[in-house]
Amino acid sequence: MTVSRYPSPDTLVAYIPSPGDFMTAREQRWYRIPCRSAPVVLPKARWLAFYHPAAFGTLKWAVHFFAPIERIERVDLYHESPLEDGLWDVLRSANIPAERQYDVKKGKTRYCLDFAVLCARSDLDVECDGDSWHLRPNAVAEDNARNNFLASLGWSVLRFSSRELSPSNIAGAVDLVRATSERLGGIELPNQANRRFDRAGNVVEQYRLW
């Protein structure tokens, strides 16, 4: 039922841009606020209210859900999930530069990518899809819309499941990221040579002409 009253002074209203973001907050039981934009009343907040914009269809433009705030922590900006943290560590160990939480926007459409690997011919989006994501009824439709949007901008997409990112399999996922980046012309580094790999996984430098 839509809540029509204005929230009490100890309630913080959170803008949730998409159903996927709301599902993350609901299942993983956390919500983040950039420190620089945190309201001064944050330390006194006891409740979190979730405002739904137009992306929520029949639930749009209203607050339908509240949740008690159990604790407030100041954390690493990029601490997202064990899956992302694990892949992030292995990518760095493999000498594959990736941009984490990379925004792609065109018009009113915006997506935040788990990892962006910027390549010479086509940039690469690398997504970590946990088991809970695949249980969502709209996950496939949302993935298709996202993939189509990125493809229209020239992006390639790789998606890895929890199983593919398990300790016994994650090396194969990184090998696929490396091979795909090579196929896309090598990883672009600003003001440096493109980063490419030989079959043994060693970095091979290729100069970029301007």
Highest mean pLDDT among 108-112, 128-132, 206-210: 108-112
Stretch among 35-39, 82-86, 110-114, 189-193 having the lowest mean pLDDT: 189-193
pTM of the entire predicted model: 0.56
Q: How far is residue 95's CA from residue 90's CA, in Å, rounded to a whole number?
A: 9
| Residue 191 pLDDT grade (very low, low, confident, very high; cuts 50, 70, 90) | very low
Tens-place pLDDT, residues 88-106: 889 989 989 888 888 888 8
CA atoms of 91 and 173, how far apart (whole Å): 10
**What structural domains and CATH numbers belong to the chain?**
11-68 (no CATH), 82-206 (3.40.960.10)
Residue 151 has pLDDT above 80, yes or no: yes
* Average pLDDT of the residues of the chain: 79
The mean-pLDDT minimum among 108-112, 114-118, 130-134 falls in 130-134
pLDDT at 35 (0 to 100) = 64
